[in-house]
Amino acid sequence: MLYTPYVWLPLASAVLLASIAVYAGYYRRLPACRPFRMLMWLSSLFSLIFALSLVVAPLELRVLLLRLIYIPGGFIAPAILTMVIQYTGHAAWITRQRLAALLIIPAVTVVLTLTPPLYPLFRHSPRLIAEGPLSNVVFSRGPWYWVYYGYGSVLTICALAILAVSLVTRAQRRREMLLLILGILIPFLADILTTLRITPLPGYAWTPMLLACTGVIYGWALLHGQIFIIVPIARGAVMDHIEDLVIVLDTQGQIADVNSAAKVTCGMPAQAIGEPVEALPPDWADLLRGHSRTSAGTSEVTVGVGARQRTYDLVVSTINDRRGRPVGHLFILHDVTAHKRAEEALRQSERRYRLLAENMQDVIWSIDTQSLRLTYISPSIEQLQGYKPEELLGQVVYHGLPPDMQAAIHGLIQQRIATFLADPTQHTFVNELEQPHKDGSAVWVEIVTHYYISPETGQLAINGVGRNISERRRADEALRAANQSLQAQLAEIQQLQAQLREQATHDVLTGLFNRRYMEEILEQGLAHAAREQAPLSVMMMDIDHFKQLNDTYGHRAGDLMLQATGALLHGHTRQMDTACRYGGEEFVVIMATATLDMALERADDLRQAFADMCVEYGGHELRCTISAGVASFPAHGGDGDTLLRAADRALYMAKATGRNRVCAADTALESASKLLTRD
């Protein structure tokens, strides 16, 4: 056994992740907990095997452990995706067939890992790298490794995308979603860096350590009730002894709270909290499931058949947290079976209306159609605008607004009255207005106005509901700001990508194309020339006595001469030509559609222009000459390598016969070049 202090981090990660897996067993009945525990066990085993591989002495045993690490590692990404799918309420998608399909790539990886003759397809050629007190084994990667890694990355990205969508559409679980995203994203980014071998210690995987960060995040979330916990959302607002049936469902369709009357009437089990709504009898399950899509409202519903049929007034309300974000739905079912007589119907309707108006968070109001003064307003107006109902009763509906806005609202109401009287089907209108608060601030309110003919008086009546949407407006503004910031970041990324593309194809010093790009362009040009039966020529040039220039005046002078050469080539080549820095002081110009004679003439023009060029440096006028060799397709070669070698031999002859000249290649005699000097 070997000791290295680097073993403690993955070992601690393994212990922590195993502890979380054990602790999560208390919530094994809750959604997504099973794949979550599996993820923790797999991550713990992954970290443990990596820790053991750091301390075992025999290389063969260490290599074996680093092979076995991919058995748990291959199933981590499917476990992440399965956990996310179940947690976001899409468990029905995970069928046996789809789960089996998800596990095909990990299963093949296990087979390759356990089969020595096939393992080189995954990884091969292990070698030991020592860094101080740490020695690591590094493998060369086979083709299956990239299949395995790409598959795991795709599954992880899909899981993050599902969580991101849920983060937008399920505000009540925003904190939980952010914790899950963070716990997945940290080791995923670490795994990318490890795969790219961008690590301070070669061969040392940081993924097991950052899995510990995931463990800390999820452990804290479990201890503080942030994930996998269903709590009685509305226990403080619903008295358990009332006769009405009170049921609270969370946004996942699970029973979050229930009173005793609902348990008895609905036939619920003793431990109903945490059970899905499907655990109820079919009539009740269908009722609650159907109305859970309604954010708020009332209706009369019937449950059962024959002598057991009961009629209820159902009140559905959205339960919000302290920030106004929805966390569930409250169902209040009032039994009105014994009160169906005609004399009682009106009183029951009025009582239910008052009960709803005085206890719901939205503000309900009525106005006189002649004076537009408030004849009724619910007590929730105090929570919305700070006024008590008696302070506003008798006031015009637009009380407290600026005069110009009062006139606008007055005209709008008169216009809508005329619209309704002309077409009674147009009776409901929605507006968003900024209303004054008693403390001097403002609050955004969504106002739904309903115009109807009163059955009692036969006269036009106007009722309305006001809802505080300030949080929603702020969220919309924040989203717009975030989108603008994202657009700015995207533009910056695109600019950086353009710079990277430029750097990947150009020489930094001269601004010319680099050798790699030249080779690609040459092959493309030769393919086009062969297809079109057109000529193509290549000129290879070299600065004469460049080393002497560097030795005499320094490398800065040499750089200036190279930069001047690049500028000269930019100015003396056609748009269809490609000028490249081949290496050092050597340059290559690819001349599309140019015959040998045309290329020789252009090369000589460049030679003369270079001889006339002067570079000033440190009070000196620096002058140099160039030698060049020219080869043409197809006379001197049918592929890029052959053509470049022919041009290089011609360049060699130009230098050997005195420099400051241009020579053409001779394909008839491979060992010699034809000397062409143009004075």
The secondary element (H helix, E strand) that includes residue 208 is helix 207-223
How many CB atoms are located within 10 Å of the residue 42 CB? 23
For residue 440, pLDDT beyond 70:
yes
The whole-number pLDDT of residue 94 equals 79
394 plus 369 within the same structural domain: yes
Give the integer Cα–Cα distance in Å for 640 and 650: 15
Say whether both 171 and 97 belong to one domain.
Answer: yes
The pLDDT of residue 330: 85
Do residue 372 and residue 351 come from a single domain? no
Distances (CA, A) of 488 to 475, 482, 484, 492, 495: 20, 10, 6, 6, 11
Q: Is the pLDDT of residue 227 over 70?
A: no
Nearest to 378 by CA among 394, 395, 361: 361
- The rounded mean pLDDT for the chain is 80
Written as six digits, the tokens of 366 are: 């009525």
* Domain assignment present for 485: no
Q: What are phi and psi of 303, to 5 degrees?
A: -125, 135
Mean pLDDT of 538-560: 92
Give the model's pLDDT for residue 34: 80
Residues 515 and 575 sit within 8 Å (Cβ to Cβ): no
Name the band, by pLDDT with cuts 50, 70 and 90, for residue 668. very low
Q: How far is it, in rounded angstroms, from Cα 527 to Cα 264?
A: 84
Task: Write a three-state SS string for 312-376.
Answer: EEEEEEEEECCCCCEEEEEEEEEECCCCCCHHHHHHHHHHHHHHHHHHCCCEEEEECCCCCEEEE
What whole-number distance in Å separates Cα of residue 577 and Cα of residue 102? 51
**For residue 672, what pLDDT band results from cuts at 50, 70 and 90?**
very low
| Peptide bond just before 389 cis, omega within 30 deg | no
Point out the domain boundary residue: 340, 357, 374: 357
Residue 641 pLDDT exceeds 70: yes
DSSP alpha helices (H): ranges in 572-639?
596-612
Amino acid making up residue 450: H
What pLDDT shows up at residue 208? 66
Placement of tokens 């011609």 in the chain: 650
Question: Percent of the chain scored above 70 by pLDDT?
Answer: 82
Q: Is 585 a catalytic residue?
A: yes
Angle at 633 between CA 627 and CA 634, to 5 degrees: 135
- Please give the tally of structural domains in the chain: 4
Residue 598 has a pLDDT of 94
Last residue of a domain, one of 188, 223, 258: 223
In a domain, 577, yes or no: yes
N-term to C-term CA, the chain: 77
Please name the residues in contact with 383: beta carbons below 8 A apart, sequence gap of 6 or more: 361
Q: Is residue 498 part of a domain?
A: no
Determine how many CB atoms are found less than 10 A away from the CB of residue 50.
25
Same domain (yes/no): 531, 545: yes
- Tokens representing residue 540 in the block: 């290879």
Average pLDDT for 388-407: 80
Does residue 488 sit within a domain? no
What is the reported pLDDT for 89?
65
CB atoms within 10 A of CB 649: 21
Greater pLDDT, 218 or 610: 610
Do 159 and 93 lie in one domain? The reply is yes
Query: Does residue 234 fall inside a structural domain?
Result: no
Higher pLDDT, 516 or 675: 516
Instruction: Characterize 173-200 residue by residue with b for buried, 16 or more Cβ atoms within 10 angstroms of its Cβ, and e for exposed.
Output: beebbebbbebbbbbbebbeebbeeeee
**Rounded Cα gap, residues 530 and 592, in angstroms:** 12
**Alpha carbon distance 301, 294 (integer Å):** 14
* 218, 344: one domain: no
Lowest-confidence range among 28-42, 193-207, 598-612?
193-207
Residue 225 in this model has a pLDDT that exceeds 60: no
- Cβ atoms of residues 110 and 73 within 8 Å: no
- Say whether pLDDT at 100 is over 80: yes
Find the DSSP H helices in 56-201. Answer: 59-68, 70-73, 76-87, 96-102, 104-114, 143-169, 174-195
Task: Indicate whether 202 and 290 sit together in one domain.
Answer: no
Q: Tell me, what CATH number does 10's domain have?
A: 1.20.1070
The domain in which residue 166 lies consists of: 5-223
Task: Please compute the mean of the pLDDT values over residues 358-362 and round it to a whole number.
Answer: 71
CA 333, distance to chain mean position in Å, is: 42
Residue 110 makes CB contacts below 8 A (sequence gap 6+) with: 70, 71, 74
Distance CA 139, CA 65 (A): 13
**248-270 b/e with 16+ CB inside 10 Å = b?**
bbbbbbbbbbbbebbbeebebee
> Mean pLDDT, to the nearest integer, of 113-133?
79
Angle at 678 between CA 672 and CA 679, to 5 degrees: 135
On whether both 334 and 318 belong to a single domain, the answer is yes
pLDDT given for residue 402 in this prediction: 80
Least confident of 61-75, 408-422, 558-572, 663-677: 663-677
3-state helix vs strand vs coil in the chain, percent to 5: 50, 20, 30
Q: Specify the residue for token string 């353009």.
A: 498
CATH number for the domain harbouring residue 417: 3.30.450.20
Final residue before a domain boundary, out of 468, 490, 507: 468
Residue 613 has pLDDT above 90, yes or no: yes
Clarify whether residues 262 and 377 are in a common domain: no
d(CA 499, CA 502): 5
Other Cβ atoms closer than 10 A to 90: 12
Do 310 and 365 belong together in one domain?
A: no
Residues 450 and 574 in one domain: no
List CB contacts of 630: < 8 A, sequence separation 6 or more: 537, 538, 539, 540, 596, 599, 600, 603, 647, 650, 662, 663, 664, 665
Q: What is the CATH number of the domain that holds 532?
A: 3.30.70.270
Do 336 and 399 belong to one domain?
no
Fill in the amino acid letter for 603. Answer: A
- 235 lies in a domain? no
Mean pLDDT of 54-83: 83
In a domain, 503, yes or no: no
Q: pLDDT value at position 632?
A: 94
Among residues 60, 300, 585, 621, the one annotated as catalytic is 585
Inter-helix orientation angle 546-553/555-571, to 10°: 130
Give mean pLDDT, residues 20-43: 76
At how many degrees (to 10) do helices 143-169 and 76-87 cross? 20
At residue 538, does pLDDT exceed 90?
Answer: yes
What is the share, in percent, of the chain residues with pLDDT greater than 90? 20
**pLDDT 10s digits, 460-518:** 888 888 888 888 888 888 888 888 888 888 888 888 776 777 667 888 898 899 998 99
CA angle (110, 112, 117) in 5-degree steps: 150
Let me know if residue 506 belongs to a domain. no
Q: Is the pLDDT of residue 629 over 90?
A: yes
pLDDT at site 231: 37
Rounded Cα–Cα distance for residues 442 and 401 (Å): 11
Predicted local confidence at residue 455, as pLDDT: 75
Query: Phi and psi dihedrals of 24, rounded to 5?
Result: -65, -15
Q: How would residue 230 be classed by pLDDT, with cut points 50, 70 and 90?
A: very low
